[in-house]
Structure 1
Amino acid sequence: MIRYRLKCDQGHEFESWFASTAAFDGLHKAGHLACATCGSARVEKALMAPSVATVEAETRPLAAPASALEEKLAALRRHVEETSDYVGTDFATEARAIHLGEAPERPIWGEARPDEARALVEEGVPVAPLPFMGKARAN
């Protein structure tokens, strides 16, 4: 696995993990990368400092407690899962139907392709990316 810092054409920076450099290159070339903030498909690698292990990191137990950020992300995920309906890959269709009054209004979450997310935003459907993967993609 390799982590890259990425930047979209709107100036948003974020990080993402890839199986390999070749995996990143393939996804980038196919247009399957999108900004985690605005959904822009114009994403490039940003400058990134290398990760250097320290003596402290090498002697830390493998089961070290999660960082405060990891704990907050886990709490957010629990909240989303407990208070909204998971609609999987039907997210774009269901969000649009709720917005148009064709489906009951309720909080939902799921997956959408970058082009689907952009279309929802352009249509004025209130959506936002989540900082974790959906159930279908999680290990």
Structure 2
Amino acid sequence: MKVLNLQCSHQHSFEGWFASEDDFQAQLSRGLVECPMCADKSVQKLPSAPRLNLSGRQEPDASGKHLPSSSAAVDADESTAARNMTAVAGTSTGASHAQQAAFLQAVRHVLANTEDVGTRFADEARRMHYGEQEARSIRGQTSVREAAELLEEGIDVMPLPLPAALKETLQ
């Protein structure tokens, strides 16, 4: 199994698991690899730091004899290599990953705590606003024109882009 660090043209970073490099290339050429955040199919493979097993590495002592290095030194070397590879790749592992995770968490919360009324969204929002039915949290689809009309009527609405990964169950 080959685990690759991938990135779409919108700078969303994600991980993909493939049987081999050939399998990745075949899926990419058939348009089967897409960003889980925005469904962009323009995906590139990023360089990744290899996992180095250096537990058997030895360092010379003052007399010139090789002694096993401490695991703390090995861990520091590995994390430095990973940071350097990330810098070379031109990716940011801090804020962008945290922002993506926060966005997905917020969208999952909205999906879990709202009722999907589908294309009846504008009608349902109006009924609740004018007291014709009990207020509740809803989501659905509407046109840009209908959304603007709702806003003009004083009904608060906002667009919610749903990543393709949240529309279906991931396996």
Per the normalisation by structure 2, the TM-score is 0.41
Whichever of the two has the greater Rg, that structure is 2
Structure with the larger RCO, 1 or 2 (CA within 8 Å, 6+ apart):
1
Larger relative helix fraction:
2
